Amino acid sequence: GRAAGVSRQTVYNQFGSKDAVFRAVVDRHWEAIRTEVAAVSAPSLDSVTNAEDVLRQFARSLLRFVNETDQIVFTRLVIAESRHLPWIAEAFYQAGKAPLVAAFAAVLAQLTERRFLTCDRAEFAARQFMGLIQEFVVWPGVMGVQGKAADAPADAVVVDEAVAMFLARYRATQPS
């Protein structure tokens, strides 16, 4: 409240309660990821000639979101507050992660339909790919590991390896 120059009570009066404040903050925070989701899902995949470019674009969007928003701080806040406000973790997930997974899974399903990939379980594969990125980019920050560890790989390496690993498992074998 102080940073905004208003008292906590003024904020609660505006929103009605601490719960309402958090609901508004959660929703506002995820507007940024919804923009990224739209960017990933909006372009027609008709002009796509390979899955690798799509995976790299998605990974870069995920990295941009994490690096350009307060995602790490916000995730830590949600974890801390969920003890007192049990609904917040579910709301956080439903407002952001769930639509992101669904949008990326739809893209993977289209790439499978176009025979660039063989993802029988698109949502499962979407979570796998996101995990390959988030393990290095999100979790050290959430766990309070300050900065990047000296031995932490660069974001570009994380993306390259995630794409290579994902394609090793899911790339469709082209008929020769």
DSSP annotation string for 58-74: HHHHHHHHHHHS-HHHH
pLDDT of residue 8: 62
pLDDT of residue 2: 47
- Rounded CA-CA distance 79/67 in Å is 19
pLDDT of residue 175: 56
pLDDT band at residue 108 under the 50/70/90 scheme:
very high
Higher-pLDDT residue of 15 and 73 is: 73
* Helix H or strand E encompassing 31: helix 18-41
State whether residue 171 is helix, strand or coil.
Answer: strand
pLDDT of residue 22: 72
pLDDT of residue 40: 61
